[in-house]
């Protein structure tokens, strides 16, 4: 068993740019003493939501929005919203802080333009993404609810290939899965326009994360259980390192995970145990650091 260990936080982990921007705007507003409502959870991470709640952020849904009025301020999170939400906010008279990620905002505009083009000729807008996800709901809203959402390659038969297709992807989709869908669609029809709309930060993250996972003896993946992106990245880590474990707090790290990794590591019994800590794009840096700080107490059995 190893007598030493190293603990490394993935340098590319932490909030994506869109979430950082939204959190910063929320904290700036709350620092002024105002009351702020977020339309839906800003991130799918309970610990971060609790931290912001202590600063005065309240989460509401569309029904809650209807109860607000002039003098209230509502934050639109990075995921974005459909046009109907903006109409509802205008009807209530609330002030908006629109934190839609610029990447998502551009995608919304592109989908709206594509729909105006193909709808007159019976064509389709197809979106590869998670059904019911906030970002996807906002994208579908650009077509008046008439876009086709494909969550897995097995649903390809729901697409009508007899007319022109405009194919898009949710910004945080798995790049490999989207490539497979694109190839399958092109095999059925040449009358298709493919848009590469996965966020560049997300696509680069996949390749870097695979290398990070493979380069450690054990991976502690820190994320909220509700995170769609977290589920994708966790499975990516586990594909490259079977000793990958989901962690939602420092307390959830199990010493036996590290013990098993130490017993099975390569390089001999004197090699240090290499612990890698990473997470979803909805995982704040402070939470990764908290897990790292807790490690020394978890590996006391190695000394």
The CATH number of residue 84's host domain is 3.40.50.11270
The residue from 8, 28, 81, 135 that is catalytic is: 135
How far apart CA 221 and CA 243 sit, in angstroms, is 10
How far apart CA 137 and CA 140 sit, in angstroms, is 5
Question: Can you give the chain as a three-state secondary structure string?
Answer: CCCCEEEEECCCCCCCHHHHHHHHHHHHHHHCCCCEEEECCCCCCHHHHHHHHHHCEEEECHHHHCCCCCCCEEEECCCCCCHHHHHHHHHHCCEEEECCCHHHHHHHHHHHHHHHHHHHHCCEEEEECCCCCHHHHHHHHCCCCCCEEECCHHHHHHCCCCCCEEEEECCCCCHHHHHHHHHHHHHHCCCEEECCCCCHHHHHHHHHHHHHHHCCCEEEEECCCCCHHHHHHHHHHHHHCCCEEEECCHHHCCHHHHHHHHHHCCCCCCCCEEEEEEECCCCCHHHHHHHHHHHHHHCHHHC
Among residues 67, 82, 100, the one where a domain terminates is 100
Answer whether 179's CB lies under 8 Å from 201's CB. Answer: no
Domain identity same for 107 and 185 = yes
pLDDT of the residue at 196 = 95
Q: Per DSSP, what are the bridge partners of residue 149? A: 127
pLDDT of the residue at 263 = 78
pLDDT of the residue at 1 = 43
> pLDDT tens across 224-270, in order?
888 878 888 999 999 999 999 999 889 999 989 988 888 776 555 56
Among residues 100, 118, 135, the one where a domain terminates is 100
How far apart CA 272 and CA 253 sit, in angstroms, is 19
- CATH number of the domain to which 178 belongs: 3.40.1010.20
Domain identity same for 154 and 219 = no
pTM metric for this prediction? 0.84
Domain identity same for 76 and 167 = no
Q: Tell me how crowded residue 282 is: count the other CB atoms within 10 A of its CB.
A: 26
pLDDT of the residue at 22 = 95
* 177 is an active site residue: no
Domain identity same for 206 and 227 = yes
Among residues 40, 68, 100, the one where a domain terminates is 100
pLDDT of the residue at 2 = 47
Domain identity same for 124 and 217 = no
Answer whether 158's CB lies under 8 Å from 181's CB. Answer: no
Q: Per DSSP, what are the bridge partners of residue 6? A: 274
For residue 92 the two structure tokens come to: 């209530």
Q: Which of 42, 26, 48 is nearest to 287 (CA)?
A: 48
For residue 263 the two structure tokens come to: 């017993």
Domain identity same for 125 and 218 = no
Q: Which domain holds residue 211?
A: 5-14+201-302
Contacts for 146 with CB less than 8 Å, ≥ 6 apart: 115, 119, 125, 140
Identify the segments of the chain with pLDDT beneath 70. 1-3, 265-270, 297-303
Domain identity same for 136 and 215 = no
Q: Which of 155, 131, 165 is nearest to 145 (CA)?
A: 131
pLDDT of the residue at 266 = 53
Domain identity same for 148 and 240 = no
Domain identity same for 89 and 155 = no
Domain identity same for 119 and 95 = no
Domain identity same for 114 and 194 = yes
How far apart CA 178 and CA 29 sit, in angstroms, is 38
For residue 96 the two structure tokens come to: 């908006």
Work out how many domains the chain is built from and give that number.
3
Domain identity same for 61 and 150 = no
For residue 74 the two structure tokens come to: 């509502």
């Amino acid at each position: 068993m190893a007598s030493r260990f190293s603990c490394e936080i993935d340098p590319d982990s932490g909030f994506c740019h869109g979430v950082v921007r939204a959190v910063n705007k929320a904290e700036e507003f709350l620092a002024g003493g105002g009351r702020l409502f977020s339309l839906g959870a800003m991130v799918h991470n309970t610990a971060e939501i609790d931290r912001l709640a202590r600063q005065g952020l309240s989460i509401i849904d569309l029904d809650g929005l209807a109860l607000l009025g002039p003098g209230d301020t509502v934050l639109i999170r990075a995921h974005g919203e459909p046009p109907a939400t903006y109409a509802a906010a205008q009807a209530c008279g609330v002030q908006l802080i629109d934190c839609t990620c610029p990447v998502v905002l551009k995608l919304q505009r592109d989908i709206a333009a594509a729909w105006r083009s193909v709808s007159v000729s019976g064509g389709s807008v197809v979106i590869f993404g998670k059904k019911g996800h906030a970002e996807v709901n906002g994208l579908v809203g650009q077509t008046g609810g008439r876009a086709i959402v494909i969550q897995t390659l097995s649903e390809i038969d729901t697409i009508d290939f007899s007319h022109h297709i405009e194919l898009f992807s949710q910004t945080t989709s798995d790049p490999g899965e989207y490539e497979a869908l694109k190839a399958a669609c092109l095999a059925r029809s040449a009358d298709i326009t493919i848009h590469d709309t996965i966020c560049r930060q997300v696509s680069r993250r996949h390749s870097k994360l695979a290398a990070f996972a493979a380069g450690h003896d054990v991976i502690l993946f820190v994320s909220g259980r509700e995170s769609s992106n977290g589920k994708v990245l966790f499975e990516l880590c586990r594909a490259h390192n079977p000793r990958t474990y989901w962690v939602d707090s420092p307390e959830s790290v199990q010493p036996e995970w590290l013990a098993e990794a130490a017993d099975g590591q390569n390089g001999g019994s004197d090699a240090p145990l290499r612990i890698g800590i990473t997470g979803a794009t909805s995982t704040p840096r402070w939470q990764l650091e908290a897990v790292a700080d807790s490690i020394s107490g978890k590996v006391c059995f190695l000394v």
